[in-house]
Structure 1
């Protein structure tokens, strides 16, 4: 995203942020409106540039026709009384209407002491407009109104192309706010229930959460037990069994039973509000790095100032008249802002963005995308990124004399009625083996222990290790210990009180993850795994994929710290993740990459989104980033190469031998470099 967009966006972003920090935790509808406003904002900016470009272009045509320099060049005469005042009027319109984004942008850049593209354009158009206006009102010399108008047109076109190709600024904070329900069912003293907005809840209030609802606040369970899906927040794919006195996090989803929850934290203290704060801090501290074209523009700005002033001093000291020296100075300053520069970067960006979109990569932040070429470490979140976040059967261990398929038949038949992710994995396995299932009757869930039902008139139970131990069944402890050390979830099958065997399940590793890590190694890029999961699970997954560096049991709010730690070692880090808990880390990393199947928050916080959720696309990002950068460098050399040749001529280096670059010839050279740049992109 070009620097000035960033200024506009940052302006909007900050205004949202303050709004969020004061009210975000109230989770009222303002957050949603802000979100819509923001999408509208980026869209309306694109429309604005487009409108300014077309209107300025139309007004430029009469400016060209009325410019004496263009008339001389084509050897034609065309004049009428006060024609130069009409020219002045048209040029004034283009200067203020078309040039407005650049004038305001240059003020922003100078305030931030970071002159860039805006300042360079601003300098050229102010000098050209000021000098040409003096000429119209009696100063001797030639006006540059046609230069002014064409420069503004091309720069508007460049910015419009670039903005259209790069997605809008981040709405991560609004997305986080959306995760919270707006209301809670508060229990009244007389046993009744009232629905109240979240901001009306106080500490120690009791709220009711029905099955399938989002938990509205951070608190502890005072009555009931259930499996709670915290994957949105912690990235952990397994629902967590919770009983009385266990803590729950606002924003997680209650799967099974009804719960009464005692409110512990409200407002700014809630887990989600803390994540919002972390994302905000990370977004603000991510250095406002300038992209390549802006850095080039910064040097050209200094060059233009220096060459202009030097030219003026030299011509005056050689005894020339003030107005001749001034004309030389203006010519140099106007020529230093090459029209080609305005298209050099945007055209490359537009091409690389559309190429990457075809490959399923959405670029949200262009500066960070450019930086991807320097990455030397990629941090992967485990669940949902390296793994699919879905459970699959890894081992079936029948007791002696039992058959694998028979064991699956009993388990899958009972699991047909369950919503649990483990059930889906067992059913999937049975389906793949072509096992047709029996009907289940009297199905019931034994909360925290497993489930039971009658299949083929036999009582079938699928239960947890805890139940087996409690009931004193004997089983193959060696096999069980080995499986649980690999971090697998094991269920036991009991038919008519007889133990028949166990089924082990784990989060399925993405095939593409192994290939990605191997390829990254070839390019000397280190892969690191970061997960909130326990160490054994993490190491088992890492061994399967080939990752050596593993940080396990990392709390969500420490993920960003872990990224900083790797950055402190002087490495450029890309972070890949998919959950709310990854958002602060995605915002902190040099390049944040979100898996498209992940949560909206992760997608909104990232610089690049992998639509196909294939980690292998990270390699494409790095490759594309390198190619994009190479093309930009070539283009900027073309754009600036013209300057290296034109500036000394405009300054009058060859004046002693009678060669002074007339602005008309300058214009032809300029058009030539613009065409070359466009073709190269």
Structure 2
């Protein structure tokens, strides 16, 4: 992080790969996946799925039974001016309503017991109280007590509560599939080198000290050390390092990374759970299990409404009995208060806004995977961006061509692109793309030869031409001092040199291309008063260059995956509400550690599975859209909750009978209609949400 703008804590940059030596586990990929899910997935994801299915089933059954209850309800019949009656109809109504109460209302009755055990009465307690009072009073009326039944109010309240909780469950179903996606990155087969030759075995059979052959284009099967050959390895998906990493004898390689060039032999050092990738899996699992949950706004409101409902209902009953009114009159007042307080509107206030907000955001290419985190997005103070693939495009483009002798820029690119035209190396592709862009001629190359990690050689137009690394020049004593090249190297750019007949004739600088949209995204965030930081596995020079180009508030460089989540924690300890934006496997622990994890949709499956919000387009400007949507969604939730709870301040005193002396008295039926009107207002207000 840049010193002048960083918060007071001193952030250190670590360089070494985290190692955790332990017991080696040799099991195949499917077993590993199953084991992870058995340990973690069932307790979280499966639990949510089971609950979601349960709410859905109870809702459908209760809704079907509610239809005949509505047709048999006296109030509905008089309101719509029709009549259905037959001997014993009230007992049919009782039986149907009893089933809805016990079957449909079971999650709330069970929830009441759980909340009371924890001494934290909330939404479940309030719903259970409302349906129990309505049911008990209605049963008493059915079997002789004077008054009106509340069966249809009871059934519709249970239906709406079940629907609200089902919507809620769908919105919080989480990110534990990330673990499965991580495990999928490991190859399933390895080429084991034995005294009899090379044979293919399952990766699960690999043991420490085994030697494997890794061919160009293949994934390295497990963590180890190169014992033969040279190559370049793509570790971008694991470490965030955008540049291919040169590997020679003695260098460590990470399981899951891709061998780009030469065939190498690797001695296996770590297998199973001890590998770097599986340690990242463990980090993701730990972060998911320890993620803090903010208490739902509706639950807070429900807690107070529960106290109000119990207090107002009890006070109403006692007051009217004290004033000498009959018990049936006092009981009817109490039931009316309880029914009017019961939270049809409160139960839908948040889920309805979430449903509208989710649909609206989907049209904008913003997918909400975690509702609680989305609500937190309104408070974001710092947005931390991954570099490769998020702020940048994750591909090399030519930024400078420096002639050192007579050749012009076009000729330098023509020679270099001709040599590199057959290579799949990212640097080679960047050079060829630039040559085609300026219509430089691609010449025929003879006797092409690759030096892994150092460059390529060939003959064209009768000359020996090479495109090589700075290290090759130094090794062969032909390094050229040039202020322009030194300045480019200071920016952390990758520089390759064109050598013609043993003379260095030009240099080509390449850099990971900054997305055109990144500048605007940073500017918009600054306008919203939000700080911007960058977190990358790339070297400090590259990070500094990108940060300065984009006018970021600071950056962390050379950070490995387990350190990324630590950097997020540091910012959180300093009091910041932090959002992390990333697209790679290396971002998964940080995405989960952040208060809000945002994945760029073109990224890896594991990044998407670890995120709370997914941006379908690879456009960092959508981060600002997501935060803005979170703010307006929160405002709409507060409006709905204010109405859902606020109307009680008006309705409860009327239901209790404070204006009885003026001849104004709400019947339970009118109380139920008022409650329904509140629900309609909440639903309309949710539909008015605009982003």
* Same fold, judged at TM 0.5 (above): yes
Which of 16, 31, 34 is the aligned partner of 2:33?
31
Alignment match, 1:130: 136
Q: Structure 1 pair 113/364, CA: closer, same or farther in 2 (3 Å)?
A: farther
Q: How does 1:55-74 map to 2 (within 5 A)?
A: 55-71=61-77
Measured in 2, the distance between the counterparts of 1:123 and 1:204 equals 66
Alignment match, 1:15: none
1:680 counterpart SS class:
helix
1:28 counterpart SS class:
helix
2:292 counterpart SS class:
coil
Residue 527 of structure 1 deviates from its aligned partner by 0.8
Alignment match, 1:18: none
Residue 116 of structure 1 deviates from its aligned partner by 4.2
Which of 455, 458, 474 is the aligned partner of 1:453?
458
Confirm whether residue 387 of structure 1 aligns to residue 392 of structure 2.
yes
Measured in 1, the distance between the counterparts of 2:116 and 2:593 equals 26
Measured in 1, the distance between the counterparts of 2:651 and 2:644 equals 11
Measured in 2, the distance between the counterparts of 1:453 and 1:635 equals 72
1:202 counterpart SS class:
coil
Q: Structure 1 pair 23/139, CA: closer, same or farther in 2 (3 Å)?
A: farther
Alignment match, 2:439: 434
Confirm whether residue 196 of structure 1 aligns to residue 195 of structure 2.
no
Which of 363, 366, 376 is the aligned partner of 2:371?
366
Asked if 2 retains the 8 angstrom alpha-carbon contact of 1:24 and 1:31, the reply is: no
Confirm whether residue 79 of structure 1 aligns to residue 85 of structure 2.
yes
Alignment match, 1:529: 534
Question: How many residue pairs get matched?
Answer: 660
Residue 549 of structure 1 deviates from its aligned partner by 1.6
Measured in 2, the distance between the counterparts of 1:201 and 1:112 equals 50
Residue 327 of structure 1 deviates from its aligned partner by 3.8
Alignment match, 1:16: none
Residue 466 of structure 1 deviates from its aligned partner by 1.1
Residue 163 of structure 1 deviates from its aligned partner by 5.7
Residue 669 of structure 1 deviates from its aligned partner by 1.4
Measured in 2, the distance between the counterparts of 1:622 and 1:574 equals 10
Which of 478, 484, 504 is the aligned partner of 2:483?
478
Which runs of 5 or more residues in structure 2 are unaligned? 1-22, 687-691
Measured in 1, the distance between the counterparts of 2:569 and 2:598 equals 16
Alignment match, 1:17: none
Asked if 2 retains the 8 angstrom alpha-carbon contact of 1:166 and 1:353, the reply is: no
Measured in 2, the distance between the counterparts of 1:298 and 1:22 equals 50
Measured in 1, the distance between the counterparts of 2:454 and 2:490 equals 21
Q: Structure 1 pair 548/61, CA: closer, same or farther in 2 (3 Å)?
A: closer
Q: How does 1:114-513 map to 2 (within 5 A)?
A: 115-160=121-166, 169-198=175-204, 200-513=205-518
Q: Structure 1 pair 92/451, CA: closer, same or farther in 2 (3 Å)?
A: same
1:213 counterpart SS class:
coil
Which of 542, 548, 557 is the aligned partner of 2:562?
557
Deviations 1:60-107 (A, max 9, x none): 122123234444656766432222221121112222443344445556
Which runs of 5 or more residues in structure 1 are unaligned? 1-20
Measured in 2, the distance between the counterparts of 1:628 and 1:277 equals 34
Residue 243 of structure 1 deviates from its aligned partner by 1.1
Residue 222 of structure 1 deviates from its aligned partner by 2.2
2:218 counterpart SS class:
coil
Alignment match, 2:5: none
Asked if 1 retains the 8 angstrom alpha-carbon contact of 2:402 and 2:485, the reply is: no
Residue 254 of structure 1 deviates from its aligned partner by 1.7
Compare 186-195 and 342-351 and name the one that shifted more: 186-195
Q: Structure 1 pair 55/654, CA: closer, same or farther in 2 (3 Å)?
A: same
2:269 counterpart SS class:
strand
Q: Structure 1 pair 44/499, CA: closer, same or farther in 2 (3 Å)?
A: same
Measured in 2, the distance between the counterparts of 1:197 and 1:113 equals 52
Residue 561 of structure 1 deviates from its aligned partner by 1.4
Measured in 2, the distance between the counterparts of 1:638 and 1:446 equals 72
Alignment match, 2:647: 642
Q: How high is the TM-score relative to the length of structure 2?
A: 0.88
Q: Structure 1 pair 371/95, CA: closer, same or farther in 2 (3 Å)?
A: same
Measured in 2, the distance between the counterparts of 1:107 and 1:433 equals 74
Alignment match, 1:7: none
Q: Structure 1 pair 246/629, CA: closer, same or farther in 2 (3 Å)?
A: same
Which of 567, 571, 588 is the aligned partner of 2:572?
567
1:503 counterpart SS class:
strand
Measured in 2, the distance between the counterparts of 1:259 and 1:116 equals 62
Measured in 2, the distance between the counterparts of 1:83 and 1:269 equals 69
Alignment match, 1:664: 669
Asked if 2 retains the 8 angstrom alpha-carbon contact of 1:184 and 1:196, the reply is: yes
1:501 counterpart SS class:
strand
Asked if 2 retains the 8 angstrom alpha-carbon contact of 1:165 and 1:354, the reply is: no
Q: How high is the TM-score relative to the length of structure 1?
A: 0.90
Q: Structure 1 pair 442/107, CA: closer, same or farther in 2 (3 Å)?
A: farther
Compare 163-172 and 229-238 and name the one that shifted more: 163-172
Residue 190 of structure 1 deviates from its aligned partner by 3.8
Compare 295-304 and 405-414 and name the one that shifted more: 295-304
